Amino acid sequence: MAKNNIPEAPPSANLIQSGTVIIGDIESNGNIRIDGTLNGTVSAGGKVILGSTGSVEGKINCANADIEGLVNGVIIVKELLSLKATAVVTGDILVSKLSIEPGARFTGSCRMDSVTEEKTSEYLKEKELAY
């Protein structure tokens, strides 16, 4: 355990392999790689990597993210979000920095700003009212 009873981030990424389906929420202080399917929320203190075979229906909230697969929902990234050439994102993005490779597809809204807890709460409230 680290100071203040917060568990330390694991030294390697958590992996959800292709063919795995998770219905529910995932929380980690470290990194997560998703090559399977998640219907729910993923919250990571580190990086979320969504592989080309991966899909998320729900919300991604993390420090950094590399998206190669499919996302239908809300993406909140405190630092850098990279949409790779194979990425297909439908939904809303709140991010500090955004990188989009040629070939990536994005349908939705994007707000680029410093991402704080307060701004995240305001953003999610706005989105709830819109749906």
pLDDT at 3: 46
User: Of all helices (H) and strands (E), which one includes residue 73?
Assistant: strand 70-83
Residue 110 near residue 92 (C-beta atoms within 8 A): yes
Write out pLDDT tens, residues 31-85.
999 999 999 999 999 999 999 999 999 999 999 999 999 999 999 999 999 999 9
Confidence of residue 91 (pLDDT cuts 50, 70, 90): very high
Distance from C-alpha of 29 to C-alpha of 43, rounded to nearest angstrom: 8
Record the pTM. Answer: 0.84
Q: Looking up tokens 């697969």, which residue turns up?
A: 69
Q: How confident is the model at residue 11 (pLDDT cuts 50, 70, 90)?
A: low
C-alpha span between 81 and 74 (Å, rounded) = 12
Whether the per-residue pLDDT at 117 is higher than 90: the answer is no
Residue 1 pLDDT > 50, yes or no?
A: no
